[in-house]
Amino acid sequence: CADGHDDHASEAHMHLPQKRAYPSVPLTPPSRPLVWGDVNIIHTTDSHGWLLGHQKPSFPEPNYSGDFGDFASFVSHMKEIALEKGVDLLLVDSGDLHDGTGLTDGYPAGGVDAHDANKFFDKLPYDVLAIGNHELYDYPNTLDIYENFAPKYPGRYLSSNVNITVAGPNGTAVSVPVGSRFAKFHTLFGRKVTALGVLYDFTGNDHNTTVQKVEAMVNETWFKEAIAEEPDFFLLAGHMPVYKDKWPFVFNAIRAVHPTTPIFILGGHTHIRDCVQLDGRSMSLESGRYMETVGFLSANLDHKNSTANITFNRRYLDPNRVTYEYHTGRGNHSFDTWLGQEITRGLNELAESYDLSYLYGTAPQDYSLSRWVSTSPEARTGTDSPSSDPYPSNGSLLTLFIEQVIPVALAINNTRAAIPNIIITNSGELRFDLYKGPFTKNDQLTASPFTDSFLYIPNVTLGVASKVLPTLNKAGANEKRSLEREEELYGRGVVDMRYRAWLEEMDRRDGEVKRAAQNLTLGYVTQDSCPGVGDDTVHAPLPYYGSPDFLSSIPPTGADDTVIDLVFINFIQDQLLGVLNGLQSEKVYADSDVLSYSPFLADEVLGLFAAEKWN
């Protein structure tokens, strides 16, 4: 094994919990050392609970096998290196800590999503953290951040445009920032920093939370006052994509006052690796998702009022022990810090206490969302030829979910099971591939973490109901999606299309050629608009298969006027009612026509199906 972990390799094949996230297969090391500057930043974003690392053996999963304990050891060693070099190293997170694995979503009854997992976050020396949209879908999660998480980082958990309504001193409701609006601090080497934490224009937030539009935020008095004094650099963290979003509003507002002050932007949300330069004295970095990427950004700052271009460097690291040891010059025996080991131990204890290894059944094959997955021996090195699992197909998780899993699970103890139905869900409800072998509670919550419910409208005619899906997807929506619709979906947090477009583009660019060469493992291959190469480790891209935004079960047969149940996931209720009212004029459907279809939630149906069909 490349880094001498043979004795632990068998652990990586167990289902869960893992004792240590050692890569179970040889991993490609980084292509070259990091370029350090005077100011350096390690960046995480959209971690969504992936603190135990990616544990499945098929590529590209081992690329991301480092757990949060390994990451903590990496950060400690990088801090030591920075100290030796006499340079600043900051740690920044751009939000979305909730929703995505058993560690966040597998909490026992009465608990709060991510409350326990977030305790490991606050063991790391984050300088600035920004709020994400997934901190706002459910009020209890936002309240937990406000009451328990933000106070762990006094003044450094930033929610520049996000408020929560809480009980004020005399019982009256008050709307207050979830964290702080901005932070001003000095780095270890005395550089003055002004930091913000901005959320994109998210509209899917729960009651009693508010998100102010970015263009309105920059007109606030507090904002103008916060940016008035010139720091050595601005640090703009935020859950907002670095490209095609509203960073320019913030950037331009600062540039109007400080035309040359260096600006670092650390964005997130679209789950991609991306880099943009808004001018020669600024760089914007976005560092992927699910702890599949750790971003590194560095710059050599020059003197005040200089107008020369600043030399920035950015790198997208694959978070695994080979990467971490390479960049810190540590060997396997000198890498782990006490804190790192404590975090790994604590995470495994949490997994155990949440019973994440609870076995529902054994998946007969791999099911993928948009890419090839295979457990053939060659797949262990990422060099076998890809099998085809497009949607719809037998290997597509989307097909399995909508055509088998949901119909089987929702029929359990359901008095309406005998009534024909059409079931519709958004494809974003599914978040991760499902692998052959033991299917555990953790796998259930990783593939489908949302506590969304299933609703229905009775007595919809088959003729109308069968037109709902094509209308939602607007036949060929991927090419012709109207700007208005895209904006509405985007506002509610639907960015899957941007991530999918990114995967598609990297495959189209040179996927076939690179895979055919058989000398590279599978992984991300980034082409962004910043100078030089960003990926730290060279890979061949995964084959990509597209999928629609919405999915439907197989419709029943019958005449157009047969009445059926139109079943759907609550996340799409508004859109579905809008479409239904556009398709017929006999009745104006409203929220009051919508009924509960099943007590089972989206984060349970895969487990119910596995228990029934995979045993």
List residues near ligand LLZGTKA7 by CB under 6 A.
46, 96, 133-134, 137, 269, 426, 428-429, 450, 452, 493-496, 571
Least CB distance from residue 118 to ligand LLZGTKA7, whole Å? 16
- Sorted by sequence, the CB contacts under 8 Å of residue 599 that are 6+ apart come out as none
Least CB distance from residue 550 to ligand LLZGTKA7, whole Å? 10
CA distance 214 to 211: 9
CB nearer ligand LLZGTKA7, residue 17 or residue 493:
493
Contacts 24+ apart (CB under 8 A), 326-329: 326/29, 326/30, 327/30, 327/33, 327/34, 327/74, 327/78, 328/74, 328/77, 328/78, 328/81, 329/81
3 state SS for 322-355: HHHHHHHCCCCCCCCCHHHHHHHHHHHHHHHHCC
CB nearer ligand LLZGTKA7, residue 38 or residue 452:
452
Q: Determine contact, residues 129/152, Cβ cutoff 8 Å.
A: no
Least CB distance from residue 453 to ligand LLZGTKA7, whole Å? 10
- Sorted by sequence, the CB contacts under 8 Å of residue 606 that are 6+ apart come out as 360, 401, 405, 409, 434, 439, 443, 444, 447, 448
Question: Closest-CB residue for ligand LLZGTKA7?
Answer: 428
Short-list 39, 532, 35, 534, CA closest to 262: 39
Least CB distance from residue 184 to ligand LLZGTKA7, whole Å? 29
Least CB distance from residue 425 to ligand LLZGTKA7, whole Å? 8
For residue 41, give both structure tokens.
Answer: 């930043």
Least CB distance from residue 547 to ligand LLZGTKA7, whole Å? 12
Beta bridge partners of 565: 421
CB nearer ligand LLZGTKA7, residue 502 or residue 571:
571
Beta bridge partners of 569: 454
Query: Kindly report the CA angle at 142 between 138 and 148, in degrees rounded to 5?
Result: 140
CB nearer ligand LLZGTKA7, residue 38 or residue 429:
429
CB nearer ligand LLZGTKA7, residue 208 or residue 387:
208
CB nearer ligand LLZGTKA7, residue 27 or residue 214:
214
Q: What is the CA radius of gyration of the chain?
A: 24
CB nearer ligand LLZGTKA7, residue 272 or residue 464:
272
Instruction: Burial-class residue 513 by CB neighbours within 10 Å (0-12, 13-18, 19+).
Output: exposed
Least CB distance from residue 342 to ligand LLZGTKA7, whole Å? 29
CB nearer ligand LLZGTKA7, residue 312 or residue 544:
544
- Consecutive H or E run containing 157: strand 157-158
For residue 162, give both structure tokens.
Answer: 């996000």
Count of CB atoms situated within 10 Å of the CB of 385: 12
CB nearer ligand LLZGTKA7, residue 363 or residue 494:
494
Instruction: Burial-class residue 228 by CB neighbours within 10 Å (0-12, 13-18, 19+).
Output: exposed
CB nearer ligand LLZGTKA7, residue 163 or residue 426:
426
Strand 595-601, strand 453-461: pairing: antiparallel
Least CB distance from residue 114 to ligand LLZGTKA7, whole Å? 13
Least CB distance from residue 605 to ligand LLZGTKA7, whole Å? 13
Least CB distance from residue 295 to ligand LLZGTKA7, whole Å? 17
Least CB distance from residue 426 to ligand LLZGTKA7, whole Å? 5
Least CB distance from residue 249 to ligand LLZGTKA7, whole Å? 20
- Sorted by sequence, the CB contacts under 8 Å of residue 75 that are 6+ apart come out as 42, 91, 124, 125
Least CB distance from residue 575 to ligand LLZGTKA7, whole Å? 11
- Sorted by sequence, the CB contacts under 8 Å of residue 512 that are 6+ apart come out as none
Least CB distance from residue 375 to ligand LLZGTKA7, whole Å? 27
Q: Determine contact, residues 94/45, Cβ cutoff 8 Å.
A: yes
CA trace torsion 140, 141, 147, 151 (10° rounding): 180
The DSSP letter of residue 147 is: I
CB nearer ligand LLZGTKA7, residue 96 or residue 443:
96
Query: Within a 13 Å sphere around the CA of 133, how many CA atoms are in the beta-carbon half?
Result: 20
CB nearer ligand LLZGTKA7, residue 200 or residue 360:
200
CB nearer ligand LLZGTKA7, residue 133 or residue 368:
133
Least CB distance from residue 412 to ligand LLZGTKA7, whole Å? 22
Least CB distance from residue 48 to ligand LLZGTKA7, whole Å? 6
CB nearer ligand LLZGTKA7, residue 50 or residue 153:
50
CA of 373: how far to CAs of 15, 27, 322, 376, 432, in Å?
Answer: 17, 18, 23, 9, 11
Q: Determine contact, residues 401/606, Cβ cutoff 8 Å.
A: yes
CB nearer ligand LLZGTKA7, residue 337 or residue 444:
444
Residue 209 phi/psi, 5-degree rounding, is -130, 150
CB nearer ligand LLZGTKA7, residue 318 or residue 452:
452
CA distance 449 to 4: 35
CA distance 581 to 575: 10
Short-list 77, 76, 62, CA closest to 27: 62
